[in-house]
Structure 1
Amino acid sequence: MPETIATPHRHPHRNPRRLRRSLAALALSLCVPGSLVLAQPQASMVSVKVETANMRQGPGTGTAVLWQLHRGYPLQVVDRRNTWIKVRDFEGDEGWVSRRLTGRTAHHVVKVPTANLRGGPGTGHRIVGKAEYGELLRTLERRGDWVHVRRADQQKGWIARRLLWGW
């Protein structure tokens, strides 16, 4: 029997598919000696669809603004409350954003000090530019472990997915 089993902290009984995944993960963990199963649902992503959006301390315009997010900024949805969504950014910071200010346009953020922008999806392709930590990139295509992106200056290239955070 495993030492630790992590279960979803959100009400799995409200979503039959999530409950089935959790039960399947539990069953698997009981069959594999010493296994640790993290039965968490895959989080959904959104991006800011307006020029700027306020990230707030709580769900509502009466709560403090923590910071502003710019168009395209990707966010991981961690909770929902009426017309508000609780989100997490690439650095793990959390806050609330009005759902109507978000959309489904895929973007990534560079999560390493410097990432090579390449002419094709692989290290065999020449470096055509560099992207810096925190830089916002529009996602054009995903191919295996590589993401085709466009920078704010319109330069396009491929970056290894492990160097990015987002969709």
Structure 2
Amino acid sequence: MLKIKSSFLLFLLLFTSIFWGIATASSEALCIKNERANLRKGPGTDHEKLWEVFKYMPFKQLGVKGAWKRIQDVDGDIYWVHAPLTTQKYKCAVIKNNKTNLRSGPGTKFPIVPWAPVDKFFSMKVLKIEKDWVHVEDSTGDKAWIFRPLVWIQ
């Protein structure tokens, strides 16, 4: 009886550890921290380059294989990225549609910033969220506000 209980507890511990690892990896958000990063079809430079993204592009982490992370973008597409090109130290946002306005303050009463509108996949670092508005900074240091439903934040 003791052997059965021990085996069951060992199985339960192993199953819980594996499940916890998968659940944790699948819920992690990450951002590109370098100026540019290549997204690939598989985990390694020998795999086809599918897309080049820029600093602050957000992704949802789905898994890890060695020094590579399996990621998902705003559209649900799956890629692999070299792990050292990513960070989880801050949140990032990406524009969901073309011709999206950014404003100088958190509301439509504030003027549109001179460098707007921006297009889909324009990525930014999230500085803070204030009700339905997100304060963001682009890779050149320009700051603006955007209406929360217009971005995907990770």
The question of a shared fold, defined as TM-score above 0.5 by the shorter chain, is answered with yes
**Distance change in 2, residues 1:77/1:15 (3 Å):** same
Q: Deviations over 1:40-85 (max 9, x none)?
A: x972211112232221111122222222222222111112223221
4+ residue runs over 6 A deviation: none
**Distance change in 2, residues 1:151/1:52 (3 Å):** closer
Which of 134, 139, 150 aligns to 1:147? It is: 134
Q: Which has the higher helix share?
A: 2
Determine the structure 2 residue equivalent to 1:136: 123
Checking the alignment, whether the CA contact within 8 Å between 2:68 and 2:82 is kept in structure 1 is yes
CA distance in 2, matches of 1:77, 1:47: 10
CA distance in 1, matches of 2:148, 2:26: 17
Q: Which runs of 5+ in 2 are unaligned?
A: 1-14
Shift of 1:153: 5.3
Determine the structure 1 residue equivalent to 2:70: 86
Checking the alignment, whether the CA contact within 8 Å between 2:26 and 2:63 is kept in structure 1 is no
Determine the structure 2 residue equivalent to 1:15: 20
Q: Whose radius of gyration is greater, 1 or 2?
A: 2
Determine the structure 1 residue equivalent to 2:28: 44
Q: Number of paired residues?
A: 134
Determine the structure 2 residue equivalent to 1:160: 147
Q: Which has the higher strand share?
A: 1
Q: Does 1:120 align with 2:105?
A: yes
Larger relative contact order (Cα-Cα within 8 Å, sequence gap ≥ 6): 2
CA distance in 1, matches of 2:85, 2:142: 27
SS in 1 for 2:43: coil
The CA RMSD measured in Å over matched residues stands at: 2.7
Q: Deviations over 1:116-160 (max 9, x none)?
A: 222322334343343322222232211122100124554422111
Q: Does 1:109 align with 2:114?
A: no
Checking the alignment, whether the CA contact within 8 Å between 2:96 and 2:120 is kept in structure 1 is yes
CA distance in 2, matches of 1:54, 1:119: 32
Checking the alignment, whether the CA contact within 8 Å between 2:72 and 2:79 is kept in structure 1 is yes
Percent identity of the aligned residues? Answer: 32
SS in 2 for 1:117: coil
**Distance change in 2, residues 1:42/1:145 (3 Å):** farther
Shift of 1:103: 0.9
SS in 2 for 1:114: coil
